[in-house]
Amino acid sequence: MDIAIKNFGIPKQLMTDHGTQFCTSEDKEYKYRKALKERGIEHIMSRVKHP
């Protein structure tokens, strides 16, 4: 992510799937989500089974 931000700038939003590295049912804050939040990037998740 740091390389992409260096090359293209900070995006306003980032869309991901529902992979366990991006979300959890227990609403724990993973490093990935924390990094987005620290940079002011809105995390948007795609609909299930619709990438």
pLDDT at residue 11, as a whole number: 96
pLDDT at residue 27, as a whole number: 56
pLDDT at residue 24, as a whole number: 65
Residue 33 CB neighbour total at 10 angstroms: 18
pLDDT at residue 26, as a whole number: 58
DSSP string, 9-42: ---SEEEE-S-TTT--TT----HHHHHHHHHTPE
Each residue of 1-44: pLDDT tens digit? 889 999 999 999 999 887 777 766 555 667 788 889 999 999 88
Answer for the pair 18, 48: CB distance below 8 angstroms, yes or no. yes
Residue 46 scores a pLDDT above 70: yes
pTM assigned to the model: 0.69
